[in-house]
Amino acid sequence: MPQHFDLLGKELNNIKGLKQNPDATGFFLQEVLRFYSIAGTLLTSDICLNTSSTVDGRYLTHVLSRSLLEPYFTILYIFDDFSLMSARYEEQKNTFKDNYRKLMNDLNAPVWSNFMTQHGNNLEPADPTWKNLKKLPDVNTMLGYVKNHSGGTLNYLYPLYRITSFDTHGRSLGTIFESVFGKQCNFPILDIEYAIELLANEYLSLYNTLRTNKLI
């Protein structure tokens, strides 16, 4: 088990015991638990998590890694400056509101009436005033704002995010590449174990900083 991921695991019971308030800190704590669950499943699986992985392995590891990277960037952005934490969490909430409004607009179309009759009572209605809200910057912009716990920039992670995003939507299938480029092509296989260790290190550092500042 990677070193920092193992250290994060030793804090897991303490994290679970903390009150998860409906604010930026609660968002962070729940995402750490989600990260540990997904990353831990990958690390204990038989799937190769380095650049020697097969294409079939990449289909799984890249998709799951992408689901961990975007909230990771968001959390670093929210907590990069504690004086801006509340305002930036509002941007996260506004992004959620906008996406949820679009979801409900789609599902409330007449063609999905049967689905909504069965499941609509499990969905909260969207507020029609959720428009023109200040949302999160795009990932590339967010990475320009934030630094890791050592003070270094994280822009180098953007290609990792874009590769996993491209893979997530099934756009890297070999037949498509061959059809487009007229030949068989390669596509990067990323070192997912290294990425997991990197995220675990940052989450552990932020967790300790929030405890030190009595924010959790």
Average pLDDT over residues 188-197: 93
pLDDT of residue 200: 96
Q: Which amino acid is at 136?
A: L
Dump pLDDT digits (tens) for 82-134: 999 999 999 999 999 999 999 999 999 999 999 999 999 999 999 999 999 99
Dump pLDDT digits (tens) for 70-79: 999 999 999 9
Question: Does residue 1 surpass a pLDDT of 70?
Answer: no
Extract the tokens encoding 106.
Answer: 């789609």
Taking alpha carbons only, the member of 188, 216, 168, 211 closest to residue 63 is 168
Please provide residue 194's backbone torsions phi and psi, each rounded to the nearest 5 degrees. Answer: -65, -40
Distance of CA 111 to CAs 77, 121, 122, 123, 155, Å? 39, 17, 18, 17, 43
Cα dihedral 176→179→183→186 (10° resolution): -10
Average pLDDT over residues 124-145: 94
Summary mean pLDDT of the chain = 94
Average pLDDT over residues 189-205: 94
Question: Does residue 150 surpass a pLDDT of 80?
Answer: no
Question: Does residue 176 surpass a pLDDT of 70?
Answer: yes
Q: How many CB atoms lie within 10 A of CB 111?
A: 8
Handedness of CA 115, 112, 130, 91 (dihedral sign): positive
Dump pLDDT digits (tens) for 31-47: 999 999 999 999 999 99
Average pLDDT over residues 56-78: 94
pLDDT of residue 148: 76
